Amino acid sequence: MTASTPIDVPELPDTELSQVKPIRGRFEKEGVFNVLRNFYSEEQIKGMQEKGVDSRMVFGINSYYMALVKGEGLSDANGNILLPAMPPSPALQHLVVPIVAEAIDKSGEKDPSNQIRYSPDELKGKLLHKYDEIVLGYTALACSAHCRYCYRLDLFNGSTGKGLVKPEELRDYVLGYNRDLAARGGVDENGEKRWPVSEILLSGGDPMVLSNKQLYKYLAASAEAGVDVVRIGTKEMAFRPMRFDGALAETLRIFHARYPNTHINIVMHFTHPDEFLERDEKNQYKQENGHYVWLASVKQAMAHLGSLAFVSFDNQTPVILHVNDDAQALHLLHRELRRGGVSFKYIFQCREIEGHKAFAVPVEEAWRLHNQAQKGLSDGARSRFALSTEWGKLEVVSVTDGTGDLSMNGLPEEAAAPMQSVFGEGLIIMKMHRSPFAAHTQGDIVIARRNPKALWITDYEDRIIYDGRKQGAAKYEALIQTLKAMESGTEQEAKAA
Ligand code: SF4
């Protein structure tokens, strides 16, 4: 194989999904309008249109997820039950059904976390190379349903120039990067140690909306790039689990026979237990022999892939208002996924997309929910709570209580005042869990005075007292400014007196 050699694709079986086809588009599209009529009057839909809800984000759903939201049950053409009838799920409705609040305050970033900064010039907008060891490729422009809080809004809307990478482009980029790095002895132009790409992330949209043939091409391209792991980021196990059928399992077996050294890691996006647990008519999760009952559709999908020793499963999801801002639901999500053989990687803060105020839970509240949800979970079932920022993944490790009135503890005023200025409101402490490129800042921390209303790191920028994102003395710059401001405030007070 040489660079630019087309990917060779063998005969592959097709996956049949005609029963659960997505309905996508702007509100005026007939199918979309009809679906929305399940939730809103005609006037309400038109009102949302006028306010710009659908121009903010295209609506998308498929019959399976719609049945899950509405609790109506679903059968195939032969009368086989795909989903049992259950009570409606308000949480899942909030996940996919538009709300007017999305357009009331559209503040936020077109390109959240400035991702385009990490897209190499030669494939601008087609792939991201932020962390040395992993390259993310955009492989699909849609999902089979659309989360309203989606952080790939700009990809769907085409508003920031992002688009699809071809499998061969992805492979050739990684081969070229690793070859050049090896030729330089594993260091960059500045002589600094760098790491080769060992993993490729197929992202989108959702790569699992691709045909088996298209998916195979990306998998093969990743294997031919020589990486250890190809990761597939997908919500299809929740949106449309029948995508993971015997034909897909056979496709992956064929892939593995040709490329036995490449592991496949499927990173799922279960957001709420309603997406995979069966509920009774009283809306209680069903139990049998002391264990929760998984939906047969999801169980079967997991079984198709679970028989493949070269495939592993992870999960990650954001905390979203009215969807999973509930410690009990988050706890159950972790616990049951652990039982299902799925490792929980991250709970994320909702990204600062345009319209995020309709979806984001304040950072400190999200941390509290996550912390509460982790109680009673074994270490293997736990996750990290993080903000995926321009500077890397910032894990929130703690949020402290304020000091109260320190002078009450007998501290002299001159000692109590600066203490209170720094610690009075309490602190949020974040760790640079992953940092870009040479990972300079990895392991360092960011400490800020608390802001209970903060929705993103930007809401802490004027409260930071130690900034591990910076180098050397600059880390303490903000603290010095705070103390200087206090000093001059004290001087002015003295002068005024
Ligand atoms: S699954 Fe991911 S990419 Fe697809 S709509 Fe949801 S958040 Fe966006």
Which pLDDT tens digit goes with each residue over 413-431? Answer: 788 888 888 889 999 999 9
Residues near 335 by beta carbon (within 8 Å), at least 6 away in sequence: 377, 381
Domain range annotation of the chain:
18-104
Predicted confidence (pLDDT) per residue in 475-493, tens digit: 999 888 877 877 776 656 5
Phi, psi values for residue 163, rounded to 5°: -160, -175
Task: Please give the number of the atom of ligand 1 that sits closest to the Cα of 203.
Answer: 3
pLDDT in tens, 9-42: 999 999 999 999 999 999 999 999 999 999 999 9
Q: Alpha helix (H) ranges present in 340-382?
A: 363-374
**Is residue 66 over pLDDT 70?**
yes
By three-state DSSP, how is residue 344 classified? strand
CA distances (Å), 347 to each of 316, 331, 374, 396, 492, in order?
A: 6, 11, 11, 11, 46
For 296-308, how does the pLDDT look when each residue is reduced to its tens digit (9 = 90+)?
999 999 999 998 9
How far is ligand 1, taken at its centre, from the CA of residue 248, in Å?
21
Place of tokens 């009135």: 405
263 touches ligand 1 (CB under 6 Å): no
Beta bridge partners of 431: 395, 445
- Cα–ligand 1 centroid distance for 233 (angstroms): 9
pLDDT for res 493: 59
Residue nearest to atom 1 of ligand 1 (CA): 235
> Which whole-number Å values give the CA distances from 397 to 155, 175, 349, 427, 456, in the listed order?
31, 37, 13, 11, 15
CA of 312 to the centre of ligand 1 (A): 21
Give this prediction's pTM. Answer: 0.95
Q: Is the CB of 205 under 6 A from ligand 1?
A: yes
Ligand 1 atom, smallest distance to 155 CA = 3
Ligand 1 in contact with 238 (CB < 6 A)? no
Q: Is the CB of 96 under 6 A from ligand 1?
A: no
For ligand 1, say whether the CB of 83 is within 6 Å of any of its atoms.
no
**Which pLDDT does position 495 carry in this prediction?**
57
Condensed to tens digits (0 to 9), the pLDDT of residues 74-129 reads 999 899 999 999 999 999 999 999 999 999 998 999 898 899 999 999 999 999 99
- The interaxial angle of helices 413-423 and 477-496, nearest 10 deg, is 140
Distance 147 CA to ligand 1 centre (A): 5
Question: Cβ–Cβ contacts within 10 Å for residue 179, how many?
Answer: 13
> Distance, CA 105 to ligand 1 centroid (Å)?
21
Contact 138, 162 (CB under 8 A): yes
Which of the listed residues 59, 154, 155, 235 should we mutate to test ligand 1's pocket, taking the one with most ligand atoms within 8 A of CB? Answer: 235
> SS3 of 170, please?
helix
Alpha carbons 65 and 469: distance in angstroms, whole number: 41
Contact 417, 486 (CB under 8 A): yes
The pLDDT tens digits of the residues spanning 160-219 come to 889 999 999 999 999 999 999 999 999 998 999 999 999 999 999 999 999 999 999 999
Distance between terminal CA atoms of the chain? 82
- Is residue 162 within 6 Å of ligand 1 at its C-beta? no
pLDDT tens-digit map of 315-327 = 999 999 999 999 9
Model pLDDT for residues 449-466, shown as the tens digit of each residue: 999 999 999 999 999 999
Residue 408 pLDDT greater than 80, yes or no:
no
Say whether pLDDT at 474 is over 90.
yes
What would the DSSP string read from start to end of 175-208? HHHHHHHHHTTSB-TTS-B-----EEEEESS-GG
Of 279, 297, 284, 336, which is closest to residue 313 (Cα–Cα)?
336
